[in-house]
Amino acid sequence: MFIRDRLSPDADGYEDFLEMQYTLPAIGYAASVRVFDAGGAQVKYLVRQDLLGTEGILRWEGDADDGTKVRPGIYVVYAEFFEPGGNVQVVKKAVSVVRRF
């Protein structure tokens, strides 16, 4: 999974969202993707055990589950890919949310 390391959700047309590109070896994979703040609190449940194609893009727009924009800071994207045979692959990536002052 490729995840850029920052986003700037300020609607200026530059890095306004975070794209997560994935490629899977076969059909039948499901995924859960959550975003946590630096303190470990979950701020966004992006994907809930959704069935995926063999490749695609998931997108986070810097928002929390309640629809508000998250504060600038460090966040962790935690993705779990469930193989059809029952194995789970985990991907963790730290990203920065930045804003103009």
Residue-wise pLDDT tens digits, 13-39: 888 889 999 999 999 999 999 999 999
Give the phi and the psi of residue 25 in degrees, each rounded to 5: -75, -15
Question: What pLDDT digit, counting tens, does each position of 36-88 carry?
Answer: 999 999 999 999 999 999 999 999 999 999 999 999 999 999 999 999 999 99
pLDDT of res. 18: 92
Distances, alpha carbon 30 to alpha carbons 3, 51, 52, 54, in Å: 18, 4, 6, 10
Residue partners of 54: CB distance under 8 A and separation at least 6: 23, 24, 25, 26, 27
pLDDT of res. 37: 97
In the block, residue with structure tokens 């490729």? 2
pLDDT of res. 99: 82
Domains of the chain: residue spans and CATH: 2-97 (2.60.40.4070)
Rounded to two decimals, the pTM is 0.89
